[in-house]
Amino acid sequence: MASANPWEQLSKGINLPFNPGIVVPALHEIALTIPTPPPIQDIAAAARAAVVGRLTGDVTTGMTVAVGAGSRGLSDRVDVLRGAIAGLRDLGAEPFVVPAMGSHGGATAAGQRAMLEALGMTEQAIGAEIRATMDTVEVARTPDGMPLYLDSHAAAADRILPVNRVKPHTCFHGPIESGCTKMAVVGFGKQPGAAQIHACGPVEMRDRLLRGIEALRSTGRLLGGLATVESANGEVVRVEGFNAADVGGEAERQLLEFAKRLVPALPFPEIDVLVIEQGGKDISGTTMDPNVTGRFWVHGLDDFSSPRVATIVLLDITEVSGGNVLGIGLADFIPASLANTIDWEKTYVNCFTAGPSGVRRSRMPMVLPDEEACMKAALSMCGRAVTEPKRVVRIRSTLHLSRCWVSDALLGELPPGATLVTGA
């Protein structure tokens, strides 16, 4: 009888015809020079002050506000959310929290609540009620007829306030990418809101997002937003409050340009094997951030010319991902231990919502018994001869990149300011 676990045979180990000359190289730890603006010391206080400073006069006593909490990897997410809620209460509002994450969490209310709680955003921690549902209400239409949806709890509130990190998106480029606008139009729109934005190519996706925020703003339901920006080492370096005009407007656009300058970059133009220790939905919507690896694999959106990565090994995913591995196809090799954790129902729900960008990115990589087999496969299939030195880079994740580990072949190509960590 066939095993219920398709990777059982691989997990036990199989004989693979690796050339005996393939040797996994030793790696050296490298500290990278990254832009390091001074971090915010008291995140909750900064968030509270940003909300009060920007929204005074826009909030009336007793106004109910649905505050959006997402699934992305935000540093100090609990402090940011708690500060936003405190600021709203200072102004006389009655805030509550809704999961504003499209179809994440398996597109179920329980799954989305569980995802917030796994990220530390419990009612006790944030000091507010969490109301979770997948039901939506159409609240507006764009001039070309696209409906705008809101979570039904959010639609019943007087206003909504997205709280999100501003950063480059993984599926399109434009004046507005990931941030408060996207959470307002996509995250608050649950599965139908996310599906209609992601159902098209990168140019139309950008345009639908811009048209969508204008339509939502015209309803008067958008109070504003609270945005953070993180440095490459994961510290919050900006906390800014937005009013309704700022969301999707010049303030959010300028903050995106600032955030782009802080995106961690792989500091080598050519890499034979990139090893990523951990991916996940809290790290990137695509498990691994294409803005770091250079692989977008979306029709109509060019891959980066640098870095040119021949093969990618992904070793694990975060527990909070709940087995959702949209973007797993961006890797070439994974160990059976990772394959065993995949929840295909959650993954495919997210893939269908993602539309065209989910097709190639959801394909299964080659599954091998363990890390060593993945490494040897990558080394043997990266396009270099067995005896030729291989350019290998290992990183913890694509979220924060202040250090990496490199093979001997790259020690002569270290970028300016990078230093070899001795004794590592």
Q: Which of 298, 301, 297, 373 is nearest to 331 (CA)?
A: 297
Please identify, among 230, 260, 290, the residue that sits at the C-terminal boundary of a domain: 260
- For residue 177, the model assigns a pLDDT of 87
250: Cβ–Cβ under 8 A, 6 or more apart, which residues?
Answer: none
Residues 321 and 173 in one domain: no
Please identify, among 242, 260, 278, the residue that sits at the C-terminal boundary of a domain: 260
State the average pLDDT over residues 155-169: 95
In the structure, what pLDDT confidence band is assigned to residue 282 with cuts at 50, 70 and 90? confident
pLDDT digits (tens, 9 = 90+) for 5-29: 677 777 666 788 888 899 999 999 9
Number of domains in the chain: 2
Residues 187 and 290 in one domain: no
State the average pLDDT over residues 52-58: 97
Name the pTM for this structure. Answer: 0.77
pLDDT digits (tens, 9 = 90+) for 188-200: 999 888 888 877 7
Domain presence at residue 1: no
Please identify, among 236, 260, 284, the residue that sits at the C-terminal boundary of a domain: 260
- Side chain identity at 4, as an amino acid letter? A
What the block records as the tokens of 355 is 């539309």
Q: What percent of the chain has pLDDT over 90?
A: 64
In the structure, what pLDDT confidence band is assigned to residue 2 with cuts at 50, 70 and 90? very low
Indicate the helix (H) or strand (E) that contains 368.
strand 366-368
pLDDT digits (tens, 9 = 90+) for 123-148: 999 999 999 999 999 999 999 999 99
Residues 370 and 308 in one domain: yes
Residues 216 and 252 in one domain: yes
Domain presence at residue 2: no
Q: Which structural domain range is residue 402 located in? A: 8-34+264-420
- For residue 300, the model assigns a pLDDT of 73
Residues 23 and 138 in one domain: no
Mean pLDDT for all residues in the chain: 90
Domain presence at residue 122: yes
